[in-house]
Every structure is written in C-alpha cells, then in structure tokens.
Amino acid sequence: MNMNRFTRVSHWLAALGLSALAGLAFASDHANHGGHDHHDHHGHHNHHTPLGMASVIPEGSLHQFNAPWQTHRGETLRLSDLVGQPVIVTMMYASCTTACPVLVEDVRRIHQGLSAEQRDSVTLLLVSFDTENDTVEVLNEYAHNFRATEAPWHFATGSAADVRTLAALLGIRYRKNPSGGYDHSNVIALLNADGEVIHRREGLNQPITEAVNSLR
Amino acid sequence: MSGWCKQWLWGGLLLAGTVTALAAESVVVPEGNFEHPVLLDRERRTEWVASFRVDARPVSREDYAAFVEAHPHWRRSAVAGLFHDGGYLRGWSSDVTPDGAPEAPVVQVSWYAARAYCEAQGGTLPSLVQWEYLVDLIRRLNGLSDDDYANAVFAWYGEQRPAAFEDRALGLSGFIGPVNEWLEDYQLLLANGDRVDFGGGSCGDTGRLILRYDSAHYATLLRYQMRSNHAPETTASNLGFRCVYP
C-alpha cells in the first residue's frame, strides 16, 4: 500500500474542498505527509517481473512525465530532464491580466526567498493553458514584460493534451470560458530534486515561508 | 412511462451484454445544440456541439488487452506509478490477460491510462459537453421520460444496479449503466467572473447552478459531482471509458 500517494491525494482533495460525494475513502495519515520514503506498491501483485524505469524514479515523481515543452527561448524542456533539480511550477496564460501576473510574482518571491545556492539549482516552469495563442513568440514577449527572460525562468507551451495532463498532476482545474480566456485554480507547486510534489499552495500572494522551507 | 416500456429500455442491455462484442464500432453523432443542465459558466446556457464519432460501446477488456500488448509501458507491471493509484488492472491474471468476460467494459483504469488508450486509437476521451450532449440526445431520441432517467441514475447509487439501456436510435450502449466513464475534462471548475473555483466545486455550490430543480436535473447534478470528485489516478471497479474521434 502506497501511503504517500494516498496521503498526498487526500490532502489535495482536502485542499480542493471536495465534498462528501467523493465515494473514495482515502487514508489520511498526517504524520506521513511530506515523508520521502518510496514504497514499491507493486509488491502486492503476484505476477510481476522486476520493474524497469518506474523502480528507478520514485513512483510519485513527475520525472515520469516526459512531455516536451517549448520554452519562451525556443528550447525544448522535459520534466524528465530535470532529475536532480528542484522545480517551482505554476500554470497561467499570457492574456490573463488578473491572477496570472500575481502568480508570476509569487514564483519570483519564492525564488528570491531561497538561498543563493538553491537559487542557482532551481528551475522555474510556468506553463500556459492557452495552447492556441501563447506561442513561443508571445511567451517571449511576456517574459520580457516581467524581466524574466533568462534562466531559470521557463515560460512554456505544449500540446493541449499535455497541458491537461500537467494540470491533473498538479491538481489544477481549468476551463476555457465563453470570452476566450481560461478560468483556472491558482496553484504553485514545488517539486524536489526527485520530481515529487513537496509543497502545493492555492491562492494568490500568500506568505512564502512554507514554500521556501519545503526546499530546505 | 409504463412498467413494460421501462423494462424494455433498461432490460435491453442485459441481453446486449451477453452478445459477443463486435470490433469497436463508432457512431456518427449529429451536430446540435446542448443546453447545459449544470451552469458551469453564468454566461453560457447553451453550446453548439459539432458532429463527432464515438465508440458505440465502452472499451472492452479484450480491446484494452490488445492495447497493452502493443504498448508495453501500459502493462500493469510496467506502468509508471505516477499514473495510477495502485489498483490498475488489479483483477487481471497477467499483464495481458483480463479477468471476467472479454467483451465486458474494461475497469480499474485511471484517467491517464484511458487517455493513452484513446490516443493510440487516434481519438480522445469525450469532453464533458460531448458526453452529456449524447446522454441528452439518447434520452430524447428514445423517448425516455425525466423520471425514468432520474430513477436509473439514482438506482446507480443504491443497491440495484441497472443494466445500461440500449439506445435504439443511434445504436449506443453503456450510458448511465453499471460502469461510469472517464471524460477528458471531467473535473468541475466553477467560475463567477473573477471568482474562480469558489467552494472548490463542492456539491452545495454546484447545486445552486442547476438549470431547473426537478428530479432529472438533480440526477444529472449528482453525476457531475460524483464524476468530478475522482482523482485522475483513481482506478475503480465501476469506472471505464470510451473514445471519440473527429
């Protein structure tokens, strides 16, 4: 039984305020929250051959998601390439004038709160919901507006299916609205060097202490 | 609706379920207008749905076995832990040997796995609007009353699981049956101007947004909410899927 995974899911559900109709009984073991031990949940199956990739990468690791993202500098970036590097990740879109600029600044604040050594090793990944309009060029201009053109900043676009996968992995809900924008939950997640979500916060302009401490 | 007629509708699939499944056939769904039963956006009450193709029945266990044969990284022993909750294909006797009837709907598949299957067929999971449009279409084309629809949905949550009704107009099966189905955008996000995700899509919030307070709309609300509460890595014995194609 992989308690970490269930624990994480239960925390997400709690964070999302999901209600009684879930019909899913997740164990909620708070003592285990944030633990980094990785259980091999396949152990309870009887007919399995030894694991390949999945046994090397922790099972909750986003390094298992190898979708290619095109960054605002025209580079290709995959989460699976970021083994050994912490990542601060959020989702936004360029024509969003209300929440998204705050999300970008929140990412900047968390980054600036890190130690000098951590600031050099971390990747900042901001993936757009708007796969139709947020081209590499649009994202490049967006990065300029935020004076965030250089590494470790990565404003990124990808396929619509991959955007939805990433949102699902991060517990971000979104939907295109009738006026052509996107309604979305405001989430910033921190991945450790193993690609696991070690911190996740909803809302805008929150204190950064917890986020910064999670990477210590 | 008379008891006889109801029996005819809901009993149809008891029969269909025993017939050996044909190769995955798809049905062309005509374009049309969809009236949102749950108002996800305050400003959008109706939506035009373009024509699309949909699998006539849920993806079967043998369909899925063929998929994992061809895509070894989706076999139970190899699948990435990120993409399921530990129960993926739990009942199968081997990586490629389904449990139960080969033609029965595949279950114990996460949303990630269902999407990978559809992608491999050149399709996608249905959108929420596409799937709900189909339910509405089936109800109308088969003359299903609001009460019979609501009773079937509520039965799902009770002891007596209904057989899925057979749709005689379009030839679709499995809707509102014993097995629920994954959708591409199944998670609700409720917005009211700049207020996004208020209440986190909890039942009380959704309940304020149903179009009419009758049994059929309440039944639909229950389905929306129940579906939305699944985590994408969830694998369940009553959760399968079908695919759509452009």
Question: CA Rg, chain A, in Å?
Answer: 18
- Tell me which DSSP letter residue B29 carries: E
SS3 B225: helix
Nearest residue in B to A18, CA atom: B202
Amino acid at B126: P
pTM of the shown model? 0.81
Min distance B5 CA to chain A CA atoms (Å): 31
- Give the span between the Cα atoms of B56 and A43, in whole angstroms: 37
Other C-beta atoms closer than 10 Å to the C-beta of B44 total 12
DSSP for residue B56:
S
At residue A13, the pLDDT reads 39
Which helix (H) or strand (E) covers residue B73, if one does? none
Determine, for residues B189 and A174 on separate chains, whether the beta-carbon distance falls below 8 Å. yes
Q: Which tens digit of pLDDT belongs to each residue from B134-188?
A: 999 999 999 999 998 998 888 877 766 655 567 889 999 988 888 899 999 999 8
Q: Give the confidence band of B203 by pLDDT, cuts at 50, 70, 90.
A: low
Q: What is the mean pLDDT of residues B214-222?
A: 91
Rounded to whole angstroms, the Cα distance separating B28 from B18 reads 24
Contact A173 B188 (CB under 8 A): yes
Q: How far is B245 from chain A (nearest CA, A)?
A: 14
Question: What pLDDT does residue B201 have?
Answer: 52
> In the A/B pair of chains, how many CB contacts fall below 8 A?
131
Confidence of residue B208 (pLDDT cuts 50, 70, 90): low
Using the beta-carbon criterion (under 8 Å), do B233 and A16 form an inter-chain contact?
no
Tell me the chain B residues in contact with residue A43 when contact means C-beta distances shorter than 8 Å: none
Residue in B119, B121, B124, B146 with CA at minimum distance from that of residue B135: B146
CA-based nearest residue to A96, from A126, A72, A132, A129: A129
Query: Torsion angle, CA of A50/A54/A55/A60, rounded to 10 degrees?
Result: -140
DSSP letters, B103-144, are TSBP-S--HHHHHHHHHHTT-BPPPHHHHHHHHHHHHHHTT-
Residue with tokens 């649009």: A138
Task: For residues A98 and B82, give the distance between their C-alpha atoms in angstroms, rounded to a whole number.
Answer: 32
Q: What is the pLDDT at residue A9?
A: 40
How confident is the model at residue A109, as a pLDDT? Answer: 97
Residue B232: per-residue pLDDT:
96
pLDDT tens digit sequence for B81-91: 999 999 999 99
Which sign, positive or negative, has the C-alpha torsion A175, A180, A185, A187?
Answer: positive
Q: Given an 8 Å threshold on Cβ–Cβ distance, is B79 in contact with A168?
A: no
The answer to whether ipTM exceeds 0.85 is no
The residue behind tokens 């009984």 is A25
The DSSP string of chain A is --HHHHHHHHHHHHHTT--GGG-------GGGTT------GGGG-SSPPPPSHHHHS-TT-GGG---EEEETTS-EEEGGG-TT--EEEEEE-TT--SHHHHHHHHHHHHHHHS-HHHHHH-EEEEEES-TTT--HHHHHHHHHHTT--STTEEEEE--HHHHHHHHHHHT--EEE-TTSSEEE--EEEEE-TTS-EEEEEESSS--SHHHHHHT-
H or E stretch at B59: none
Question: Which residue of B75, B77, B223 is the best one to mutate when testing the A interface, meaning the one whose CB has the most A CBs within 10 A?
Answer: B77
Whether omega before A58 lies within 30 degrees of 0, making that bond cis, reads no
For A171, list phi and psi in degrees, rounded to 5. Answer: 70, 35
Instruction: Name the residue of chain B whose CA is nearest to A15's CA.
Output: B200
Chain B residue nearest residue A40, CA to CA: B81
Of A2, A21, A54, the CB nearest to B80: A54
Tens of pLDDT along B10-55? 333 333 433 344 446 999 999 999 999 988 877 788 999 999 999 9
DSSP per-residue letters across B125-192: PPPHHHHHHHHHHHHHHTT--HHHHHHHHHHHHSSSPPPPPPPTTT----TTSSSEE--TT-S---EE
Q: Do A64 and B40 make contact, defined as CB atoms within 8 angstroms?
A: no
- Chain B residues in contact with A174 by the CB 8 A cut-off are 189
For B126, the token pair is 């249905």
Q: Give B-chain residues touching A98 at CB under 8 angstroms.
A: 194
How high is the pLDDT of residue A77? 97
Between the alpha carbon of residue B184 and those of residues A37, A167, B197, B243, the distances in Å are: 32, 12, 18, 10
Q: Do B187 and A49 touch (CB under 8 A)?
A: no
Q: Are A93 and A72 in contact (CB under 8 A)?
A: no
Contacts of B83 in chain A (CB under 8 A): 64
- Which positions in chain B touch A62 (Cβ < 8 Å)? 82
> Which residues on A lie below 8 Å from B77 (Cβ)?
42, 45, 47-49, 51
pLDDT at residue A215, as a whole number: 86
Q: Dihedrals φ, ψ of B48, to 5°?
A: -85, 130
Closest CA to A199 of A165, B109, A208: A208
Instruction: Using an 8 Å CB-CB cutoff, list chain B residues near A52.
Output: 78
CA B141 – CA B127 distance, rounded (Å)? 21
pLDDT at B112: 98
> How far away is chain A from the Cα of B172, in angstroms, using its nearest Cα?
26
A127 closest CA partner among A61, A175, A172: A172
> Which residues, given as ranges, of chain A have pLDDT below 50?
1-55
Tell me what the pLDDT averaged over chain B comes to. 84
